[in-house]
Structure 1
Amino acid sequence: MGRVVLLWVLLCGSAQAFAQSSEMMDRLAALEQDPVKREQAYAAAEERILLCSKCHGKDGNSKRDYIPNLAGQNPQYLFDAFEKYVDGQRTDFVMNQAAKLLTINERVNIAYYFSQQQVQLRPAAAALDKALVEKGAQRFAAVCITCHGQKAQGHDNFPRIAGQPREYLTHALQRYRDKDPSRADSPMLAVAALLSDEDVPALTAYLSQLQP
């Protein structure tokens, strides 16, 4: 009986996640077709991102090197990340609490808002060793380009990683290499297993200076 109940809970959770993702896509499609709705969503998000802006910046450019930029990020990826923080698939004390304060509509609006912002590269990115950057470009082309695209822009559920802070990228890759349980469903676990200790600094150097 216990296994039946557990299976039912898992199926219900998956169905709910699918329904919410489908609702989000419908709302985004509606925004794309209606400029008035786009303006309304943008304005509503602008009023609601006060908490987000403390870490990620009002324009989506993070204020700390260990925090990701949300500017220019794929809205579907952002929304899905919100959902994973809401249901506990991802664990971060601040994000788990913040995501639960937002309605589905607010999460859609915020995802759309940040997707419209322009990424600003950090000054340190321009001073990186060119040989290291070139090595990172070669490794990216060999391992990452299939999912994240030629310029690391990502698409749909795959995030834009171009222009992300180097410290954040390093930490994220290390979590995948360490098989962090909170990332257990990610295809990045298999990809990260292909990376050597030398690959990580090269990739992060290349991506952090890549203009989105």
Structure 2
Amino acid sequence: MRRLIATALACFAMATLATAQTFEERTQLCLGCHGEKGQSETAEVPSLGGLTSAYALIQLYMFREKLRTAEPMNDMMQGVSDGELQKLADLIAKMPPPKASAEPIDPERAARAQGLIAAHRCAFCHNTGFPGTDSVPRLGGQREDYLVKTLTEYRSGKRNEYQPVMAEIIRKLSDQDIADLAHVIARTGAK
């Protein structure tokens, strides 16, 4: 049901995007799914707040050029100029980081996740607390369902276009490992 609703919203957004004339109108369509203040309330749609302009620009460019496949983003970025991509990336970078899930962390899952984080050296790229860097996304406070979806896509090889090393690391993880990591990372960061 959630996927059906998300698909319907995406179709509506794409149809509306075709009639959107100004940058501001198109931006409002983006925020409809990703959240007005950078915190998504839409299932399996990432929160964008806290991403750097550099990282956001790379992702937007990859969507436009279909180097990263994630509909409806590929269609929505068609016809967007380089200048508008930069302007959108700069707007994203000004959004506050998403708030971490207020739900308590399960201690057993946290222990398993911390072991995985240490063993796979996640903080080497994403930094302690998962704030990310210029070229690595912020994960702390991200939607748990989106984290599960993304990690599962890395594991299956569906998503390896930007950081193939992630696919290599994640390929070894079980469904439970992915669920535990997502559980903890979604609850990491500002509350």
Which amino acid in 1 is paired with 2:151? L
Cα distance in 1 for partners of 2:173, 2:132 equals 19
1:48: Cα distance to partner?
Answer: 4.6
Q: Is the 8 A contact 2:100 2:140 kept in 1?
A: no
Q: CA deviation at 1:76?
A: 1.1
Q: Which has the higher helix share?
A: 1
What secondary structure sits across from 1:72 in the alignment? coil
Paired residue for 1:195, among 173, 177, 186? 173
Q: Relative to 1, partners in 2 of residues 1:115 and 1:185: Cα closer, same or farther, differing over 3 Å?
A: closer
Shift of 1:209: 0.4
CA-to-partner distance for each residue in 1:116-164, whole Å, 9 max, x for gaps? Answer: 22233365x4233122123213322331111111121111221111111
TM-score by length of 1: 0.71
Q: Please point out which of 31, 34, 59 is paired with 1:81.
A: 59
State the distance in 2 between where 1:152 and 1:84 align. Answer: 23
Q: Which has the larger radius of gyration?
A: 1
Classify the secondary structure of the residue corresponding to 1:127: coil
Equivalent residues of 2:55, 2:137 under 8 A apart: yes
Number of aligned residue pairs: 167
Paired residue for 1:121?
99
Q: Which residue of 2 is the match for residue 137 of structure 1?
A: 114
Task: Give the whole-Å Cα distance in 2 for the aligned partners of 1:69 and 1:185.
Answer: 19
Question: For residues 162 and 134 of structure 2, what CA distance do their matches in structure 1 show?
Answer: 17
Aligned-partner SS, 2:72 = helix
Identical aligned pairs, as a percentage? Answer: 26
Look up the match of 1:90.
68
Give the 4+ runs in structure 1 shifted more than 4 A: 44-48
- How far 1:53 moved relative to its partner? 0.9
The answer to whether the Cα contact below 8 Å between 1:73 and 1:160 also exists between their aligned partners in 2 is yes
d(CA) in 2 for partners of 1:86 and 1:97?
7
Correspondence for 2:160? 183
Q: Which runs of 5+ in 1 are unaligned?
A: 1-43
Query: Does residue 118 of structure 2 align to residue 103 of structure 1?
Result: no
Give the AA of the match of 1:60: G
Shift of 1:45: 6.8
Query: 1-side partners of 2:115 and 2:157: how far apart?
Result: 24
Please say which of residues 162-171 and 112-121 is displaced more in the overlay.
112-121
Q: Is the 8 A contact 1:134 1:206 kept in 2?
A: no
Q: What is the distance in 1 between the residues matched to 2:52 and 2:156? A: 26
Matched, 1:204 2:182: yes
The answer for unaligned runs of 5 or more in structure 2 is: 1-21
d(CA) in 1 for partners of 2:186, 2:23: 27
Equivalence for 1:150: 128
Match for 2:180: what amino acid? Answer: A
Task: State the AA in 1 paired with 2:156.
Answer: D
**Are 2:29 and 1:54 aligned?**
no
